[in-house]
């Protein structure tokens, strides 16, 4: 079966760095997405990885290792507004998006 695993919840301090991990087992691989979802709002696109390595976009970076079926989202200089759920999604061989359950990130002052 297809499976994506993320921690359910994480807590971090304002100004710090946090890494949210995602491991996946899917039938084929055609890219991995990270989305941010604030409570009561729609998911919004953060990043996309299809090749191994690190993609940096401002305070956010996303890493992919296809051989390990592993990705992480790195958030630096955390701000209170970063409190949200972070969803990992993998596109399989049929170009279907398989979604993780999301990681709820709580930022404390």
Partner 1 sequence: DAGVIQSPRHEVTEMGQEVTLRCKPISGHDYLFWYRQTMMRGLELLIYFNNNVPIDDSGMPEDRFSAKMPNASFSTLKIQPSEPRDSAVYFCASSPTTTGNWFEQFFGPGTRLTVL
Question: 108: which 2 tokens?
Answer: 């404390």
Q: What are phi and psi of 87, to 5 degrees?
A: -105, 130
Candidates 27-35, 53-61, 63-71, 76-84 — which segment interacts with partner 1 by CB under 8 A? 27-35
**Could you tell me the smallest distance in angstroms from the CB atom of residue 95 to partner 1?**
8
Closest CA to 69 of 26, 33, 101: 26
- State the number of binding residues for partner 1 (CB under 8 A): 19
Q: Does 51 bind partner 1 (CB under 8 A)?
A: no
**Among residues 5, 23, 31, 76, the one that binds partner 1 under rule CB under 8 A:** 31
| Backbone phi, psi, residue 88, to 5° | -100, 135
* Residue 106 touching partner 1 (CB under 8 A): no
């Amino acid at each position: 079966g297809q499976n994506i695993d993320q921690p359910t919840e994480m807590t971090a301090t304002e100004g710090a760095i946090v890494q949210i991990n995602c491991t996946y087992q899917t039938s084929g691989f055609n890219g991995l997405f990270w989305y941010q979802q604030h409570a009561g709002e729609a998911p919004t696109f953060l990043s996309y990885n299809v090749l191994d390595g690190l993609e940096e976009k401002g305070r956010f970076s996303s890493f992919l290792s296809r051989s390990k079926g592993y990705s992480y989202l790195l958030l630096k200089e955390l701000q209170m507004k970063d409190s949200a759920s972070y969803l990992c999604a993998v596109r399989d061989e049929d170009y279907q998006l398989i979604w993780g359950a999301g990681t709820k990130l709580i930022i404390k002052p």
